[in-house]
């Protein structure tokens, strides 16, 4: 069986997930690239991982479906071994007011973002505990962890839930040597956020104490720190990667 260090990254076909996958590959991890529907994007992520000298596998799975996630972890164990790192990144959102949000939109977001993080955490941790692996679990949150953004009620609710999932999981898994932390990006320029604002950088840079928007690499570096030996005693924490944007208050929306 392969004995190389292994990381599973959900939603790794683009954006922050891709950046995290490539960064972890660059520091010595082999990567399982999970994706939902964007096969071409996942294949591009694999090409980038190959470019930094690491190996990757692709697996399509709906992160909110237990059977599909179990199949993904069975595949991981069979092909690559026991994960050392689990990054729960996959996420969706609905841009709609509370009074107009439908049940199906709410369910889709909570199922993908919060249940997906729960399943990823539980299934990875079971393997880590069984095989006495002192693993690291990273959940990707948001500035919405603490700022109640209007028109994002499903997304904000899911991210607030992820913060508490992180803390409870850290308490329960700490005795096994597994740390669980949350990285909460904010004001990050990716495909989705650029669609939300005509001039995303121009809009957000003046609102951010660092006077710039964040890049995918900023988030990936935070994840790399939390999986490093330097963070062995760091758990149950949320690390905001937002240039200070969401540490200001009250937020003017």
**Cα angle value 103/105/111 (rounded, 5°):** 95
DSSP percent split of the chain into helix, strand, coil, nearest 5: 50, 15, 35
Nearest to 241 by CA among 226, 222, 224: 222
CA distance 154 to 164: 16
Q: Which of 29, 35, 155, 200 is catalytic?
A: 155
Answer for the pair 140, 212: CB distance below 8 angstroms, yes or no: no
Nearest to 162 by CA among 188, 144, 136, 187: 144
CA distance 214 to 246: 13
Examine the residue annotation and report whether 29 is marked as an active-site residue of this protein. Answer: no
The residues annotated with a catalytic role in the active site are: 155
């Amino acid at each position: 069986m392969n004995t190389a260090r292994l990381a599973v990254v959900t939603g790794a076909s683009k954006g922050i997930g891709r950046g995290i996958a490539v960064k972890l590959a660059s520091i010595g991890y082999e990567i399982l690239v999970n994706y939902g529907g964007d096969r071409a994007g996942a294949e591009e992520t694999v090409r980038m991982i190959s470019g930094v000298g690491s190996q990757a596998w692709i697996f399509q799975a709906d992160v909110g479906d237990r059977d599909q996630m179990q199949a993904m972890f069975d595949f991981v164990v069979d092909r690559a071994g026991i994960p050392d790192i689990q990054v729960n990144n996959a996420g969706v959102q609905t841009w709609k007011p509370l009074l107009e949000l439908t049940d199906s939109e709410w369910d889709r977001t909570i199922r993908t973002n919060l249940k997906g993080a729960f399943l990823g955490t539980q299934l990875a941790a079971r393997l880590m505990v069984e095989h006495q692996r002192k693993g690291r679990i990273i959940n990707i949150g948001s500035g919405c962890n603490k700022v109640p953004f209007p028109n994002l009620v499903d997304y904000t609710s899911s991210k607030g839930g992820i913060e508490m999932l992180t803390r409870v999981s850290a308490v329960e898994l700490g005795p096994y040597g597994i740390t669980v932390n949350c990285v909460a990006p904010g004001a990050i320029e990716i495909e989705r956020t650029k669609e939300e604002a005509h001039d995303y950088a121009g809009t957000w840079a003046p609102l951010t104490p660092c006077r710039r928007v964040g890049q995918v690499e900023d988030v990936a570096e935070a994840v790399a720190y939390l999986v490093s030996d330097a963070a062995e005693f760091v758990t149950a924490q949320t690390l905001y990667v937002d240039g200070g944007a969401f540490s200001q208050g009250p937020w003017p929306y």
